Structure 1
Amino acid sequence: MPAWLQWSLIVAGLIASALLVLFIVRQWRILRRARARERSQAAFHAQRRESIVDSLQVLAMAIEQDQVEYSEACLRIKGLLELVAPELLTQPPYQVFQDVHDQISHMPTHQARQDTDRKFVRKMDKERFAVEQQHADAIRRAATALRQHTF
């Protein structure tokens, strides 16, 4: 085999090796960034979950101390439980949050409530207070259970 062919093959092999090393380094960097991004997202989700659990605890304490209307607390708790433990909404004693939500979710809130006729709002409030009164004991029991629940 001629010397020039041997040198050409050696150079081609070195070039191929260098390209493979560059490819491996690039893939390694991409993988390292992806893992860092995953760790960051996992930390964010863990912090968000912890924040939601803290909110649930605060709402449960507010119910126990009669610092919040039961209907409003049920709506908020139902929404938060859907994010961290949706299976609880079908289990006693927590299902009362879902039940109250289902009974009052058709009522206007926020700006829609302000834009609604006052007579209709009073009628809805009367209905909402009746639902609260009907489920008051179950809501308090569920709030106590929620406050003691470990997520």
Structure 2
Amino acid sequence: MPAHPRRLDHVQRHRPGRAGHHRARRRGLFSQAEAMLGLLRASGLPDPQVAVAFDVLSLYVTAYAVEANAVRSGQFSEAEIAERTRQLGQYMAALPPDRFPALLALGPLLGSGDRFAAALDLIIAGIEALAARASEISQSQ
């Protein structure tokens, strides 16, 4: 099976001879991680929840970037995405309503709007709620 062209390009750009590049990039990533962890710890979350929040935020932002890059890179055209969305909508509309009431009710909303900002708001609201709960528990002890 031939290598995927994007994978081959990635391998060629990140070959071992570019170790200095990797060290500098890692330092930058570690600095960003340290800043995010510091902010999460300042929220009052216990460290185990800070670690989970950091992981969730990192994974979400990375997944969103991968999806956005697939469109920007030309891997999927806007027309292809529109056609796939239309096909999925048709398929979902044909599902039995007694078996899939939530999917049918929420189907038009799934994947619509500014998902990135809405999801971050949801994650941050959860972090705030957990931090408030942790603060209440520590004050009552």
Q: Name the structure with the higher helix share.
A: 1
Instruction: Please report the TM-score for the alignment, with normalisation by the length of structure 2.
Output: 0.28
